[in-house]
């Protein structure tokens, strides 16, 4: 066993590696650590020497052991003979950084191991979900169809490095297939279709479709499914037909999951009770999120209206400053006020336009960083609500109905046996009972699998609660920066405002403000 790592300072790269292999402050798995060392391309005997120099008697290592291994790996890559004393030369210095190449596959392996060991834990944090993919969705300029204009969307996936064009009906086809393939997962609602839609409706639908795709593309189970990848990458025409042709017969998740056969063992005894408590709590959260969203929309509306008002003021100042009406001394006498005001208004028109720009930008930033993220979370909760209803009205209901049908068959068989009915009829009932038993067993497994998925989707909702940090921090930043900028502009306006003031003689005159 080696001594604690007391030599040298820890570089940030070490912490990045630790965050990948031990995101929940766990101990490093032996197999995962071996995969890490293999990425160093060191000879096998050197890797074994490093392994022997760290504390691995229990089959795992601590954070301290991982940091030592990383330091020794870096030194070995420099051609130095591995030994514990090598680290002593780094007293007061930053430890060397090993070359390990791309760590994304290591992260995937870590997640797989943790998922296998803890099947009832989501094993994703908020950052992990956001890092899976980021979807951009923009409107493409309208194209005229044979009869009606149609709207196209440019969809860009960061994960797949692909940009494709999609129409609303393509989303409808995707939604139908996703609902069939992932019936036990959160599937967000699609926005409605509307003929002759206004620009405002089209823009709101664009945002809703963007949220839809981001929820799907970041889902732990759906993001790497062939169906989702096809939608995000296929660049051909007639997508709504092609996607149906290719995926119409695809089995649902239950039929392809390794977890399905052991679903009963994955469901804790108190699942129904915990689910009921969680549903009520999420309902409470949803109520507050809806209110937050309403308030945030009000903030955006006020910022927009304020920007409009300031812009209108600036325009009025501009109109007055550019007025060329020939005013003579007949009207003004000895007063130079109108000339002085025109000069001041010309400067003020620019300043008020700047205030309008800042307020307008604040509205845009709060719309994207606050309202849209609240809408994203609300879409997620509504999808969770729909999932719970599918479970209760779908799998659970089908299971109960299958049990009732079994009872009816048994009653008929008993009645036929008592009445000494035809042997063929009794045998047919017996066959139906056997078939129904198989159906019930399948339904029971589906019910347990659905409950397991509900637990994972519930954890997904709570994981996404971290979005509130982004929401509140965005609101605070925008309000602070906008307030600061507006204050600066208002302060900078003081010289221009002072030009509107009468001259000092007029100010000091006892008649100031009295002469009409």
The per-residue pLDDT for range 75-116, each reduced to its tens digit, is 889 988 888 777 777 766 788 889 988 887 787 777 777 777
Q: What is the mean pLDDT of residues 217-231?
A: 96
Superfamily name and number for 293-324+335-402+432-500:
Arfaptin homology (AH) domain/BAR domain (1.20.1270.60)
Write b or e for each residue in 140-175: b if 16 or more Cβ atoms lie within 10 A of its Cβ, otherwise e.
eeeeeeeeeeebbbebebebeeeebebebebbebbb
Q: Do the two domains 12-117 and 130-258 of this chain adopt the same fold?
A: no
Task: Band the pLDDT of 33: cuts 50, 70, 90.
Answer: confident
The pLDDT of residue 116: 77
Superfamily name and number for 12-117:
EF-hand (1.10.238.10)
Q: Map 95-143 to HEC letters.
A: CCCCCCCCCHHHHHHHHHHHHHHCCCCCCCCHHHHHHHCCEEEEEEEEE
Task: Band the pLDDT of 395: cuts 50, 70, 90.
Answer: low
Above 60 in pLDDT, residue 3? no
Above 80 in pLDDT, residue 415? no
Topology adopted by domain 130-258: PX Domain (3.30.1520)
**Domain limits of the chain?**
12-117, 130-258, 293-324+335-402+432-500
Above 80 in pLDDT, residue 30? no
Above 90 in pLDDT, residue 277? yes
Q: What is the mean pLDDT of residues 282-298?
A: 97
List Cα–Cα distances, 408 to 23, 200, 423, 429, in angstroms. 53, 56, 18, 10
Single out the residue of 80, 71, 81, 84 nearest to residue 13, CA to CA. 71
The pLDDT of residue 397: 57
Q: What is the mean pLDDT of residues 187-211?
A: 91
Task: State the Cα–Cα distance between residues 117 and 136, nearest whole angstrom.
Answer: 35
């Amino acid at each position: 066993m080696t001594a604690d790592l007391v030599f040298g300072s820890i570089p940030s790269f070490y912490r990045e590696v630790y965050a990948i292999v031990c995101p929940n402050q766990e101990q490093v798995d032996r197999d995962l650590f071996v995969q890490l060392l293999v990425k160093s391309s060191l000879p096998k005997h050197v890797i074994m020497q490093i392994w022997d120099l760290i504390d691995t008697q229990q089959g795992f290592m601590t954070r301290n052991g991982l940091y030592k291994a990383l330091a020794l790996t870096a030194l070995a890559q420099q051609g130095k003979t591995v030994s514990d004393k090598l680290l002593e030369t780094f007293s007061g210095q930053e430890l060397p950084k090993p070359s390990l190449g791309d760590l994304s596959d290591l992260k995937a392996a870590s997640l797989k191991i943790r998922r296998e060991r803890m099947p009832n834990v989501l094993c994703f944090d908020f950052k992990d979900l956001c890092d899976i993919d980021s979807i951009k969705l923009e409107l493409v300029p309208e194209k005229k169809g044979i009869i009606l204009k149609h709207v196209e969307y440019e969809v860009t996936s960061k994960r797949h490095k692909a940009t494709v064009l999609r129409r609303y009906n393509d989303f409808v086809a995707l939604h139908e297939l996703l609902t069939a393939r992932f019936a036990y997962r959160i599937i967000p609602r699609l926005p409605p279709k509307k003929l002759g839609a206004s620009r405002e409706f089209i823009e709101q639908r664009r945002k809703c479709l963007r949220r839809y795709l981001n929820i799907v593309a970041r889902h732990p189970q759906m993001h790497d499914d062939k169906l989702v990848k096809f939608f995000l990458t296929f660049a051909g025409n007639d997508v709504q037909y092609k996607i149906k042709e290719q995926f119409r017969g695809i089995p649902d998740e239950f039929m392809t999951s390794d977890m399905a056969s052991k679903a009963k063992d994955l469901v804790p005894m108190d699942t129904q009770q915990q689910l009921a408590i969680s549903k009520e709590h999420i309902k409470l959260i949803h109520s507050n999120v809806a209110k937050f969203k309403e308030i945030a929309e009000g903030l955006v509306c006020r910022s927009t209206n304020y920007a409009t008002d300031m812009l209108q003021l600036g325009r009025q100042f501009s109109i007055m400053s550019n007025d060329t009406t020939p005013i003579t001394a007949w009207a003004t006498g000895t007063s130079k006020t109108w000339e002085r005001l025109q000069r001041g208004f010309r400067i003020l028109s620019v300043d008020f336009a700047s205030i309008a720009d800042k307020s307008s930008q604040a509205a845009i930033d709060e719309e994207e960083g606050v309202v849209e993220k609240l809408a994203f979370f609300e879409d997620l909760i509504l999808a969770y609500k729909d999932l719970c209803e599918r479970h209760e009205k779908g799998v659970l209901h089908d299971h109960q109905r299958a049990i009732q049908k079994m009872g009816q068959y048994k009653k008929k068989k008993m009645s036929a046996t008592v009445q000494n009915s035809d042997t063929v009829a009794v045998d047919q009932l017996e066959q139906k009972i056997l078939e129904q038993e198989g159906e019930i067993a399948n339904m029971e497994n589906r019910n347990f699998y659905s409950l397991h998925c509900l637990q994972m989707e519930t954890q997904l909702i709570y994981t996404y609660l971290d979005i509130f940090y982004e929401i509140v921090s965005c609101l605070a930043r925008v309000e602070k920066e906008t307030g600061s900028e507006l204050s600066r502009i208002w302060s900078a306006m003081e010289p221009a405002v002072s030009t509107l003031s009468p001259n000092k003689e007029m100010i000091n005159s006892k008649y100031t403000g009295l002469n009409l």
